[in-house]
Amino acid sequence: MATLNIVKIGDSILRKKCRPVPVITPRIITLLDDMRETLHDADGCGLAAPQVGILRRICIVETEPGEVWEMINPEIISSEGEQNEVEGCLSVPGRYGVTRRPQTVTVRATDRNGNEYTVTGSGLKARAFCHEIDHLDGKIFIDNAVRMLTEKEIEEMYG
């Protein structure tokens, strides 16, 4: 496994729509492994393939230690409720904003073994699913932000 370079805001790849993964190859498995290592190294809770320079519909989410959701060709199939919470992004370091997201979402995706599954998440997990799937469509959380936090607010929250 390898730690990959995380693309930062300003790089045009973050604004491009990703292509579906037609076949799960050994390269896709290696990418998933490398993305997991990169996510852990960066201390994040989600990472999408375009954030490491790959325009494929792949993302991973880990909001609870050890509970990693590897999602190939994910799509949100239902959502309900609303939450307005603070989000940040590994590709937008040092900036945080309040976003409006569904309280609960259900995602259909394929795992590394080619098995289709659905998963439902609420709260942080729902936000992370939406955030990472947005990346696959060339969207960044600041596009959805109701408002960005000031430096003083960030300092108060994160010290």
Reported as a single tens digit per residue, the pLDDT across 60-101 is: 999 999 999 999 999 999 999 999 999 999 999 999 999 999
Class of domain 12-158: alpha beta
83 CB-near residues (< 8 Å, 6+ apart) = 100, 101, 102, 103, 123, 126, 127
pLDDT at 60: 98
Among all residues, which ones are annotated catalytic?
132
Reported as a single tens digit per residue, the pLDDT across 5-58 is: 999 999 999 999 999 999 999 999 999 999 999 999 999 999 999 999 999 999
Domain regions of the chain by residue span:
12-158
